[in-house]
Each structure stands twice: as structure tokens, then as C-alpha cells.
Amino acid sequence: MKTRSLMAKMTAIAGLIAFTGWTATLPAESIEPVRQNCTIRGGEKAGTLRLETDGGDCQLGRHCANSMSDIPMSRFTGISASQLAQPEAQLTATLAAEAGTFTCTGTVVEGQLSGKSVFTPDGLFVERMEKMGFSGYDADKMMAYALLDVGSAWARSLKEIGVPGMTADNLIALHIFRVDPAYVRSLTSLGYAMPTADQLIALRVQGVNGDEVKQIRALGYEPTFDQLIQIRIFKITPDFIQRMQARGLKELTIDKLVQIRIFKLAD
């Protein structure tokens, strides 16, 4: 289940890259609405929705729609599970966020709302983000922010504790993988230097957590951030380390433990 969840998140990031294809900075007041085709149906998880949008210029046989799954239904107004079960129902589903407002207006056919969407960016949001040093916004990127519910208060909280290397682009991944001040402090409280934004993303992708780091350190190791990632990738758990030690193996560095896993020497 963890692998599936991770793949779903990585797929979401890949899809959002399409939303954030432009990098030119635009004045907040000049950002135009995004108008696309849209479909909304029930998500894989109960109480969620799957959204797909496309600009209507896809070539025949080429899949170029952008999609997001498992958006909480509670973030929308004007749409519900019971309404999606009503054939020919005319609905306008609205998602309001700090970055802007998204609407999908259309008709329900076979449990799916299909129609036209409009995303209206909020220029004040851009101004708030630019004051914190984040730039390069366009309507597509703001739409990604809105759908993911990326807010300025959360971004400010990471900025205030001193996370370096944060950009308008990697804020999306930081939010998807739920990086927050509490997670950052769970690492720095162990004596680590403040990790960069990209390091935090990599650590979160692999599920590195403070409790497990404490257990590894209690066994006499001082793993770097890169080694913490290797530990998770190759399943170097405290139990695995203790089993290798019980075999009488000496000088079991993190690198040697990784090699034991790679070459299946523990089998």
C-alpha cells in the first residue's frame, strides 16, 4: 500500500509539471484565467474526486489530459456523490482556494461530470508569495497550487524556520509529501543541520522519520541525509542491523550494510 501511495503521489507530481510548464514571471494583475475541458468523477478513495482537464487541442491518439486523483470532495461545493448518480444532472462544481477559484460546469453522464472549466487566479496570492521571495507564477502554476491547496501561511512557516532552497516549483513537491515545520524539527532536534528543500523532499519520499533515525543512532551510527535515504531504500532497519551483528560481522558501516542488501548476502 505504501508503494502504491508513493507512486500515486509521484504520478500527481508528474501531472502537475504540465500545469507548471511556463516559467516567465507575470505581473499579478496580468494573469489570465485558464479555460479548459473538464471531467470529474468519484476517486479511488471514499469521499474523494478525480479531476481531469485538457485544453481541447490534443492530437488524435495522444493522451495529453492533466489529472489529479483523490481530491477531497469536501473541498468542492455544488457536487456530491448523490448528484453524480443523477443522469443528466446539470452541475457547477467549485473549488475555492487561496491561489484562485476553479469551476467545472457541465452534465452528468454515467456517473461523470463533463463540461467546461475556468480557473480564475487570485492576484493577491501572487503578491503575498512574491513578498516572501517566490516568483515565476503563471495561471497554470497557480491552478496547481489551488488544486493542491498550497497556501501562503504554510510556505511562510517553512521560510521562517530557515529551510533553504525553496522555490515556487518545489513548493508543490514539499506540499505533496507533507513537509512541515514539525517534520523539519524532528530532524534538526537530532543535531542535523537544516536540510534543504530538495533534501526534505527526498527524505519524505522515502519515508524517513525521526523515530527511526533515533533507533539507528542508538546503535552507534551517525547517518548523513544521503545515508538515511539509502537506509530506507534498502530496508536497513534496526532489526536487520542487530541480526547482522548477531552473526559476528565486524565493522558494519552503513555502506557495508547496503552492500549486504544489494548482493543478498543476508539470505
CA distance 131 to 245: 53
Cβ atoms of 93 and 83 within 8 Å: the answer is no
Angle between helices 139-148 and 2-19 in degrees, nearest 10: 150
| Mean local confidence (pLDDT), 79-90 | 97
Of the two residues 101 and 265, the one the predictor is more confident about is 101
pTM of the model: 0.85
When pLDDT is cut at 50, 70 and 90, the band that residue 90 belongs to is very high
pLDDT of residue 250: 85
Helix boundaries (H) for the chain: 2-19, 81-84, 123-131, 139-148, 152-160, 170-176, 181-188, 197-205, 210-218, 225-233, 238-246, 254-262
pLDDT of residue 71: 97
pLDDT of residue 20: 41
Measured on CA atoms in the order 159, 160, 162, 163, is the torsion positive or negative? negative
pLDDT at 197 over 50: yes
- Average predicted confidence (pLDDT) for the chain: 89
pLDDT in tens, 105-130: 999 999 999 999 999 999 999 999 99
When pLDDT is cut at 50, 70 and 90, the band that residue 29 belongs to is low
Of the two residues 82 and 22, the one the predictor is more confident about is 82
pLDDT at 267 over 90: no
pLDDT at 65 over 90: no
DSSP-assigned states of every residue in 96-108: EETTEEEEEEEEE
pLDDT of residue 46: 95
Cβ atoms of 108 and 88 within 8 Å: the answer is yes
Q: b/e per residue, 225-248, with b = 16+ CB within 10 A?
A: bebbbbbbebebebebbeebeeee
